[in-house]
Amino acid sequence: MTAPSTAQIALIALLRQICGPNHVLTHQDPATDLSPWEQDWRKRVKGLALAVVRPGNTQEVAAVVKACAATGTPIVPQGGNTGLVVGGVPDGSGKQIVLSMTRMNAVRAIDKDNLTITVDAGCVLQNLQTAAENAGFLFPLSLGAEGSCTIGGNLGTNAGGTQVVRYGNTRDLCLGLEVVTAQGDIWHGLSGLRKDNTGYDLRNLMIGSEGTLGIITAATLKLYPQPAAQLTAWAAVPTLQAAVQLLGLAHQRLGPGLTGFEVMNQFALGLVDKHYPQLRVPLWQATPWCVLLENSDSENEQHARSQFEALLEAAMEQACVTDAVVAENLAQARGLWHVRESITLAQAAEGLNIKHDISIPVSRIPAFVLETDALLAREVPGVRMVDFGHLGDGNLHYNVQAPEGVDGHAFLREFEDKVNTLVFDQVAKFEGSISAEHGVGELKVGKLPLYKDPTALAMMRAVKKALDPQNLMNPGRVLG
């Protein structure tokens, strides 16, 4: 590792004046291990940071950005470092600083009459959910990493999760932002307004930009009343087309009460059963697909349960469900969701795999999976498909596991590009998107020009050049 230059040493000294000496970490301190900030969650990439800077408030973020802009030092914003596309860790140059937002974790305010909550960007999602619940409300964003991911990262990638079918992505839950620009200015946009038609929508421009246009430091988010009842069912379905049919019935019978609709194939559930035998995985051995669906009701549990039972009875009459169980209590419901959320961990325990976070029109998903599964089986014999995800909003985690007994690292080296090209070509054919909720990051940056409309890319590059002319905000991500 090369020793920092005189200019870099001066920058680090200035950053320590801004944030305090204990909150600027470098490799020059032998007692400091920067790997938690330099290694991505999937352990695909390990970078090398000039420093890890941990500001305590928005003014410190602005001062850090100004110092970096003056010296041409690139900045990589980082929340909980749970991203899946290598979008929040430094490259290997040793010239980038990681701007960790985890010290900025406060709940700033709850406006009960306006149904909003304002939080720092480093607030962990689960803590935000708890703060809303303690105030008598629901913040509905829910995903597997909620115990460690931060709302700034959720906004930066426009995270989805399990309740998008009812409440939308993170973008749909956000009313206002506070952002530090690439020049170190502060945009005070923490509005709780639901209507504001005064020009370009800068909020939505920042959401999903993965830290390439500015640094989100706080957000004002929507709250909802707590549901009077929440019921969960697990259903066995004979085909993916039957799952789509069940989804249609659920929309008809439950209306806005349908808050979650997840699909999981047999192999994905088999991995959970193999690596987490303490979990009880219902019905999986007797069916190629299972569905996990949730119904929230504003009236009472009896009304919700009768709706659910009527739905499942109709589904069985139409042969789109072969068997089903309804959770009798909250503990059972959590157990069912725990099985679903354990698929990613079970897949990791099985070995390295090729992940695809794709979206397809719901009506075309069965044909996509049937056709693409067959192509993969022909081109890479023995691959095992881990198909699961949010069928309710058309988002599949269409993952490819190495053949039995094949080393995961070797499989990725030999087949990752080939598999990605095959799958992304199929996504384009079925009019979908190669990134539904994980973002582009570094892993997909080379693929974006192949599958994104060229006019859209030109507009995106113009925005990037205008807002970040030095290309210091998370360079090499999204647009390269």
CATH topology of domain 6-100: 3.30.43
Q: How far apart, in whole angstroms, are the C-alpha atoms of residue 9 and residue 464?
A: 29
Expressed in angstroms, the distance from the first to the final Cα of the chain is: 25
Q: What is the pLDDT of residue 53?
A: 98
Assign 143 a pLDDT band (cuts: 50, 70, 90): confident
> Does the structure show a pLDDT above 80 at 21?
yes
The answer to whether 73 and 95 are in contact (CB under 8 A) is: yes
Domain 351-438 sits in CATH at 3.30.70.2740
Mean pLDDT for the stretch of residues 463-467: 97
Q: Enumerate the CATH 3.30.43.10 domain ranges in the chain, comma separated.
A: 6-100
Look up tokens 């305010």; give the residue: 109
- pLDDT > 90 fraction of the chain, expressed in percent and rounded: 83
Q: Enumerate the CATH 3.30.70.2740 domain ranges in the chain, comma separated.
A: 351-438
Q: What is the pLDDT of residue 307?
A: 84
Domain 107-225 sits in CATH at 3.30.465.10
Q: Enumerate the CATH 3.30.70.2190 domain ranges in the chain, comma separated.
A: 229-344
Indicate the residue type of 441.
G
> Does the structure show a pLDDT above 80 at 301?
no
Mean pLDDT value across the chain = 94
Q: Enumerate the CATH 3.30.465.10 domain ranges in the chain, comma separated.
A: 107-225
> Does the structure show a pLDDT above 90 at 23?
yes
Q: How far apart, in whole angstroms, are the C-alpha atoms of residue 46 and residue 53?
A: 18
- pLDDT > 70 fraction of the chain, expressed in percent and rounded: 99
Instruction: Output the pTM of the full model.
Output: 0.91
Q: What is the pLDDT of residue 1?
A: 65
CATH topology of domain 229-344: Alpha-Beta Plaits (3.30.70)
Least confident of 32-46, 253-267, 337-351, 449-463: 32-46
